Every structure is written in C-alpha cells, then in structure tokens.
C-alpha cells in the first residue's frame, strides 16, 4: 500500500459513482465563528489575487508517524509536525516560513495524508536580495525530504503542487476521512504494532458494533462526542460508518476517538445498541465512554477543492480499502 500513497495529490472527480462507497462529508461545523468568517473572506477573494512577485504558495501532502509528536500544530518547547516541517523548509531556503495544515491532529495521532500550504520566496544565495523564479514542486519535495530525513525521519512530504496565493489548505478542505485501527484478541500485540493500534484483549462482537454504527449514520448533534471544554456544537453528517476487521472510518479526530470508545464498549458487551442512541441523544460530554487512545487514529486523507475546481485527494487506494471493509462485514 505504501507505493500507492505516493500519489496523494492526484486530481480526481468529486462526483460519486455507484461503485464507490460514500465518504465522510466535511462541513464547517468543527470551526469557530471566527474561523468560519475567515473562511468566507478567503472564498470571496478573487482567484487571480497574488502576493509579492517571487513568492510562490505550495500545497503539500505529508505523512507522519505521530508517536513522538505533541500534535501537528506549532507549540513552544514541544516537538510538533509543523515545527519539524518549518525547520526543514528554513534549512532549504535559508529563511523562516509559516505552514498551515488543513487538519489538526493530537499528540500520538498519525497521518497517511495531511494537507498543508506554505509561501516560499526564492532568494539568490550568490546575489543576496535578488529574487529568482520559484522552485519547481519536485525540487521542493526532494529538498525538504532531505532535511526531514535528518530529523528522525517520521515526517515525509509525499506530494507538492503550486497553487494561487489565496488558496488556504484549511478553508478549502471539503472532506476529511479518518481510520481507526483496533486489534482484538488475547495474543500480545506485535512489536511492529506498538503505538500503531489500540489492542483490546477481549474478543469483539463486530455484528453488534455494526448495528451500533447505524445509529450514528446521518445528520446529528454529536455534542456527546466532543472534547470537554469545546464550545463548538458538532452538528455533523456521517454518510458512511464502516466497522471491519481492519478498523472504522469517521469524521473528526476527537469525535472519532470518543465514537470508537463507545463502539468498543458495544463490542465487549458493556453497552448495548440502545445505549448508543441514548448517549447520542444526551448531548452532553459526560455521556460517552472513555476516549479511545490516540495511537490507533490515522488521518486518512483530505479532499481539497483547488482553483481548477477539481478535488485534490489521496489515491483510490482508500476507496478500495473502504470497499473491502464493507465486503468483510
């Protein structure tokens, strides 16, 4: 599967065919009022708007192992995905940059493909102050990966594209898909799965878990599945929720982990399907079961609307994965 992941920004049609399972729809419900206002302002800006001559905005797709990171967003005195990526860019171009990710991930959460953007001005090293033509995306990818490999090697740029100056990775994100890996059974977890999945020693009732998922499909108020202290009411629409031998697919990070916690309880028999409906309708953060650990959560891909009106997404490997999961159930 690794080879297929290298084509993460291939453009495909956003329309759904009858042979492809519906994905999790992305809404603006996870954004604050200020962020939604900024998104509207971004959308109102003309596509032709540009920065200073010589500055190029790049769209990046990155993959990372989240185990040794304190999350994706920049934090002082902490190792973060954005911090490591900005450091690599600074070594490449010789000046600091700011990187903006489409999706924030918590400490320990992994990404098969997260999408970011960065502005880069190419300055001549032989003639300081002279602005040169922007680097080709392939050059950016190769150079940044060179420096990333010198810093633990747990982040990799898997694709780079040039985009207009008003393109914003977060506000152009239309859909996010997460996967959660939960392994059950009495056998100890493989060494190679350490920090890559949640091991549950009990055998899980997958049929009961799938029935519980049916309660969650549709447009609901998921207040019972938001983080404590979160002020945003998560009205979300889940258009597909698949439990299989590999994992499940759902919308946003913290919500996913809380949903998995409830589904695991159904799988072990601690909760019944009616309990899931009761928790959903309670609309309180104290109703859900304990949150599943971060180690099993993967940001699968982000669909981003580009100026060409095409969808930037991970390769069709994920469609195949979802299709296989659906067939296994």
Beta bridge partners of 55: 121
Beta bridge partners of 178: 250, 299
The values of phi and psi at residue 271, to 5°, are -125, 155
Strand pairing category for 110-121 and 297-305: parallel
Contact 132, 122 (CB under 8 A): yes
Q: Considering only CA atoms, which of 48, 317, 47 is closest in space to residue 177? A: 317
What is the helix (H) or strand (E) element at residue 175, kind and residue range?
strand 173-180
Q: Rounded CA gap, 183 and 179, in Å?
A: 13
Q: Considering only CA atoms, which of 202, 288, 212 is closest in space to residue 243? A: 212
Q: Rounded CA gap, 96 and 91, in Å?
A: 9
Contact 181, 97 (CB under 8 A): no
Q: Rounded CA gap, 160 and 158, in Å?
A: 7
Q: Rounded CA gap, 249 and 238, in Å?
A: 10
Q: How many H-runs (helices) and E-runs (strands) does the chain carry?
A: 7, 13
- Enumerate the H helices of 164-296 as residue ranges: 206-216, 253-268, 273-282
> Residue written as tokens 């190792």?
79
Q: Considering only CA atoms, which of 51, 52, 58 is closest in space to residue 136? A: 58
Residues designated catalytic: 106
């Amino acid at each position: 599967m690794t080879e297929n992941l290298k084509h993460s920004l291939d453009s495909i049609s956003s329309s759904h065919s009858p042979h492809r399972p519906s994905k999790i729809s992305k809404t603006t419900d996870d954004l604050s009022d200020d962020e939604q206002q900024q998104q509207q302002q971004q959308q109102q800006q003309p596509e032709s708007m540009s920065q200073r001559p010589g500055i190029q905005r790049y769209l990046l797709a990155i993959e990372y192992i989240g185990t040794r990171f304190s999350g994706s967003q920049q934090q002082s005195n902490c190792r973060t995905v954005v911090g490591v990526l900005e450091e690599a860019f600074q070594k490449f171009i010789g000046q600091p940059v700011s990187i903006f990710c489409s999706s924030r991930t918590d400490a320990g959460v992994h990404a098969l493909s997260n999408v970011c953007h960065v502005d880069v001005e190419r300055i001549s090293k032989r003639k300081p102050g002279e602005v040169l033509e922007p680097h080709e995306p392939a050059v950016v990818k190769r150079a940044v990966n060179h420096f990333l490999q010198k810093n633990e090697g747990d982040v990799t740029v898997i694709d780079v594209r040039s985009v207009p100056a008003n393109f914003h990775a977060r506000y152009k994100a239309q859909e996010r898909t997460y996967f959660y890996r939960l392994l059950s059974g009495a056998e100890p977890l493989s060494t190679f799965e350490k920090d890559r999945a949640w091991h549950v020693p009990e055998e899980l009732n997958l049929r009961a878990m799938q029935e519980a998922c049916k309660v969650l499909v549709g447009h609901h108020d998921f207040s019972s599945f938001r983080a404590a202290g979160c002020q945003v009411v998560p009205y979300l629409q889940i258009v597909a929720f698949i439990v299989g031998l590999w994992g499940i697919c759902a919308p946003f990070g913290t919500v996913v982990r809380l949903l998995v916690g409830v589904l695991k309880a159904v799988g072990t028999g601690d909760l019944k399907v009616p309990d899931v409906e009761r928790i959903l309708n309670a609309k309180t953060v104290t109703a859900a079961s304990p949150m599943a650990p971060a180690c099993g959560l993967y940001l699968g891909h982000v669909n981003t609307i580009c100026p060409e009106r095409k969808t930037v997404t991970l390769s069709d490997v994920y469609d195949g994965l979802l299709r296989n999961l659906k067939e296994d159930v």
